[in-house]
Structure 1
Amino acid sequence: MRTPASVIVEQTLCKSHGVKEDPTLQEAFASFLESRKKKSRARAAWGPSETRPQTRPASTSILAQEERRARVRALFVETARGFIGVPYARKYHDPHYCTCEGCSASGRQLYHSPLFLDCCGLVRRVAWALQRQLGFRLGPGNQAYQYDTLPKRVESVAQLKPGDLIFYSGTYYEPGSRRHAFDMTHVEVFVGGPSGEATIGSRERFKWVMQYDSYRFESQRWKILACHFCSIDTWLDGLCHPKHPELWQPRRRMKQQQQQQGSTSSEGAWATVRVTRGIHGTGRNTWDTGKHSTFGRVRDGGKKTVEDE
């Protein structure tokens, strides 16, 4: 005979373990044992408690991300320091006996150096050395391309962190000098230092990569229009996408795209490429992408050259 107490126990077990209504006490108990066995098998599959998946608070994830950024930033600065002493470019030195300011001051014949780095070449080499940590390989573009891949900007040097980049836009004094996209003429790596303004860069054509007490200087080749303070946080997060990709495509790829769109005239195909909208505003300007692209242009003999500076 079923007592009221046994009925209550049966109903409770049925509700908690999904057993059909009005089962016998034996059926309810068997269902209870089966559910316990399933939970036990699930725990055994995960192994010890320390290997089971844990839900991390959002604050912990953010903290871990910031710690990783700080480590890669430190590596970025350390790698840049490793290139101090590398000359700017071979073409500024005599192959036989150079008496320029750099060779005289260093006591070396810089023409015979195994490596040369201009301003954007320094940044590129550092990024290449850290491509496993960054998660991408920086493209071959010059300082204008690098600037275009860093959308996060800050207002002043006081907001920069070591490893961030300072870009310089300007106009060349010499008439006919090649103009870069966004008028970008130079870039340096911010390190801070005691002055809070120190940078590492390849600033002088006859010398080499060195650390400067301040990012402020006057160039003998171009007039500085503005300094642009860019955070490398997007690079540290593995993101490197130019905002204006049409400026950095090889000419061959551009021509193929124009032909695929149905253009039959080569002159007509390049008409829309030569005139680019929206680089310095909403108006039109005569920007020759084929000439100013950092992938260079094909000269006599079919050799493609890249001019960074």
Structure 2
Amino acid sequence: MADSKSAGSEVLHTDTNGYSKKSSLSLQEAFLNFRKRRMKELRNSLKAAEREKALVDESCIAILRQKFVDQAKQYLGVPYAKRYHEPGSPHYDSPLFLDCCGLVRRVVRDLKEDLGFDIGRWNQSYQFDTLPIKLDRVEAMKPGDLVFVSAIYYNEKKKKQHHNMVHVEIWLGEGEKTIGARWQRQHVQIHDSYQYVSKSYHSMRYHFRSIETWLKGICRSYCSEHSWASSTHFIPGSRSIFSLDCFEEDEDAEDSESEDKPGGSGGEKPIELTETDGDLCLRDKTVKKGATPTTSARQPRSPIRRMSRKRPSTKPSAPTFYIGGGNGVSLVEGALLGMGWKRTDDRFSTDFTLKWVELKRQINYREFKEGQQLVNHISNINMLTTKIGLLDSLRDYCQLKGRRARPSLTLSEFVPETYKLDLKSEREVFYGTFKDGDVWICKPTGSNQGKGIFLVKNLDKFRLDVEAGVEATLNGRRSRLSSRIVQRYIQSPLLLCGRKFDIRAYLLIAHTTPYVVFYHHGYVRLSLQQYSVTSSELAAHLTNQYVQKRDPLYSDMKEDTVWTFEQLQKYLNANLATAKNLPSDWVFTQFTKQMQHIMLSCFHSVKHKLECRLGFFELLGFDFMIDSEMKVWLIEVNINPALHTNCNGLKQVIPPLVTETLHVVVELFEKSRHRQPLFPISSYSNLQLLHQETGLKCTPSVMSTLHHHVVPETAGGDARCHSDETVQIESQLVA
């Protein structure tokens, strides 16, 4: 192929005086020069446009702001949406309906001649992305600026918006007043404050955005995550020979001198603003709002190589989290997003900071990175959360305590008489214990939500079923009666308004190296049906929400299936305090103390056996019953306690429980990683500290020895080296 700059080739070019003359430049070189001049013209025209916008009279901006607010006021009284109003009502036949983003869109379109653009059709998420200037305080807000609200819907089936943006209102400039369409069954109105409480979503955060860019005629997305409509202004594309992104000419002394102007060299690319976590950013360099963007000298680049103008971000990426299953997803997500974390949906990825799942099998413990990751299940927690595992652990613990000293709480004092059906010796004891008129309850060892539970009133029939199941198991066939327990039924439970109830409370193992354990109050679960020990309806005997939801009365009476501890105390004071000789605060003193004592006994029964790794934590649901003599019984321990908020009582308890759990777990994790003291803990208020260990742990070999031998009691009362603070916390419960 011939050289493009062959001898004798001549090209006409124009000199600085406009005269054409011959040159010895090749066609290739002449084209590159032409391209260079054309690119400079494009840059200069874009810079001129930016300077022209910057020179807009501020007084005109102020007038336009007020016009924006006044135009919004023209829509006061316009209803939210037709579907929320009954036929024949005043708003049903309204000629116009406006929701929150519809109001903003309508005002902008009314003023499009003044603003110089027509806003897109999308919702508040789009409007948020087109306003890059973040205001960090209320005092900085001006009339017409927008208040955006991000939140998590209680209804997990509700469509999730970009940035979780659920609402927007217009700032009036009169105190904290805003104008907006806030309530579905109402209309556009003036609100005394931008802050409010919603029944549809939680974890609300307010974002203040200036409309300054709109007032200067700029409306485009500044978000790198979401692609909305592209700009109407011409910018050469990446495939254009005049592209400003993919190709940069060498800058020599002559070029720099000829374009030597304040603010940068002639080869400088027009400044593009984007937003990253609230900061306005140049394409090449991040600057905080209020700072002056500056340019830097560039190194010469090859005219042939395609070079990326983006530099790798030096800002650390946000921690990521994965949520598996559908239990409490919105609450967990809302709490972590509020902490600045980001969600990933890749369930197979090992590159996460926190994983929250329903089942242990969703966690790959072999790939777990201790000290770098958090997972919400301890690998062998089943020795506490299955019915047989709990029974075995408590039996071993109470037997060991009995050898060393009289235990403060014996097993029979808080666990109803229980036998394992998979052991012949225990089955025989049960058969001999059963008396006519007895009622026992049979439960599968690893199920929850009341699945597989039934009452045992006829021993002969039950015995035949059990033995047939045992034979089937021996022959390699599955049996519904394998891996089960049978437990004496509490036939005289305390009743509330004639209905059976139980109590859910929470134990949080927030840290395992060393142990830090908390108690969190729960709620009362009531049956919808009147209680009778002879009732054949399972819903009269089992009080959990999974069973109660199947009752035809549930939709009308669901608010009465959950009581708070305050409601329970109020009922006891009004109906039973005198007859039972109870103090007026029995629920929050004697009853809570007994629950905590039982929970600690359960924890101590397994703490030497649990696998302890930095990053393991566990939120457990403990279920209790109170009998007619006001005695407290442990029913079971749940590994995946329900985090639903389908009634008001649950909304008061569950969201703060989840939020505080995550804050405490993360705080302790970060302190351990950085070798900082764990206490004091700043992120908890409702949780109550039950167990704290600050001393060294025994080695695994020593712990293994403890499982089989009686060990002399240490100063802390067990095989770990306790601090005096731990002993004091637990001794207050035992006292």
- TM-score, normalised relative to structure 1: 0.56
Show the counterpart of 1:225: 204
SS where residue 247 of structure 1 aligns?
coil
Deviations, residues 116-149 of structure 1 (Å, cap 9, x unaligned): 0000000000000001111110101100000000
Show the counterpart of 2:192: 213
Residue 129 in structure 1 maps to residue 121 in structure 2 = no
Pick the aligned partner of 2:136 from 127, 132, 155.
155
Q: Distance in 2 between matches of 1:153 and 1:249?
A: 20
CA contact (8 A) 1:83 1:209 kept: yes
CA contact (8 A) 2:126 2:228 kept: no
1:1-309 → structure 2 map (5 Å cutoff): 65-95=57-87, 97-98=88-89, 108=90, 110-193=91-174, 196-244=175-223, 247-249=226-228, 285-286=344-345
In structure 2, relative to structure 1, the CA distance for the partners of 1:286 and 1:123 (3 Å cut) is farther
Q: Deviation at 1:247?
A: 2.9
CA contact (8 A) 2:147 2:208 kept: yes
Structure with greater Cα Rg: 2
Q: Distance in 1 between matches of 2:188 and 2:167?
A: 13
CA contact (8 A) 2:221 2:228 kept: no
Q: Distance in 2 between matches of 1:249 and 1:201?
A: 24
SS where residue 235 of structure 1 aligns?
helix
In structure 2, relative to structure 1, the CA distance for the partners of 1:245 and 1:130 (3 Å cut) is farther
SS where residue 166 of structure 1 aligns?
strand
**Larger helix proportion of the pair:** 1
Amino acid of the structure 2 residue aligned with 1:160: M
Q: Distance in 1 between matches of 2:132 and 2:56?
A: 23
Q: What percentage of residue pairs aligned between the two structures are identical?
A: 43
Show the counterpart of 2:519: none
CA-atom RMSD in angstroms: 2.5
SS where residue 172 of structure 2 aligns?
strand
CA contact (8 A) 1:171 1:224 kept: yes
Question: Which protein, 1 or 2, shows the higher relative CO under an 8 Å CA cutoff with sep ≥ 6?
Answer: 1
In structure 2, relative to structure 1, the CA distance for the partners of 1:162 and 1:224 (3 Å cut) is farther
Amino acid of the structure 2 residue aligned with 1:75: K
Amino acid of the structure 2 residue aligned with 1:225: M
Q: Deviation at 1:238?
A: 0.6
Deviations, residues 1-27 of structure 1 (Å, cap 9, x unaligned): xxxxxxxxxxxxxxxxxxxxxxxxxxx
Q: Deviation at 1:163?
A: 0.3
Amino acid of the structure 2 residue aligned with 1:241: R
Q: Distance in 2 between matches of 1:248 and 1:170?
A: 22
CA contact (8 A) 1:200 1:210 kept: yes
Q: Distance in 2 between matches of 1:239 and 1:114?
A: 31
CA contact (8 A) 1:218 1:224 kept: no
Q: Deviation at 1:94?
A: 2.1
Q: Deviation at 1:236?
A: 0.5
Q: Deviation at 1:178?
A: 0.7
Q: Distance in 2 between matches of 1:249 and 1:143?
A: 12
Q: Deviation at 1:88?
A: 0.2
Q: Distance in 2 between matches of 1:151 and 1:189?
A: 16
Deviations, residues 203-245 of structure 1 (Å, cap 9, x unaligned): 0100100001111111111114310000000001111111237
Show the counterpart of 2:290: none
In structure 2, relative to structure 1, the CA distance for the partners of 1:281 and 1:89 (3 Å cut) is farther
In structure 2, relative to structure 1, the CA distance for the partners of 1:63 and 1:237 (3 Å cut) is closer
Q: Distance in 1 between matches of 2:224 and 2:118?
A: 16
Q: Distance in 2 between matches of 1:245 and 1:164?
A: 23
Q: Deviation at 1:93?
A: 1.5
In structure 2, relative to structure 1, the CA distance for the partners of 1:217 and 1:93 (3 Å cut) is same
Q: Distance in 2 between matches of 1:81 and 1:212?
A: 12
Q: Distance in 2 between matches of 1:282 and 1:73?
A: 39
Q: Show structure 2 runs of 5+ residues with no match.
A: 1-52, 230-275, 278-316, 321-342, 347-735
Amino acid of the structure 2 residue aligned with 1:223: H
Q: Distance in 2 between matches of 1:286 and 1:134?
A: 40
Amino acid of the structure 2 residue aligned with 1:74: Q
Amino acid of the structure 2 residue aligned with 1:198: K
In structure 2, relative to structure 1, the CA distance for the partners of 1:248 and 1:90 (3 Å cut) is farther
In structure 2, relative to structure 1, the CA distance for the partners of 1:249 and 1:149 (3 Å cut) is closer
Show the counterpart of 2:240: none
Q: Deviation at 1:286?
A: 4.9
In structure 2, relative to structure 1, the CA distance for the partners of 1:281 and 1:243 (3 Å cut) is farther
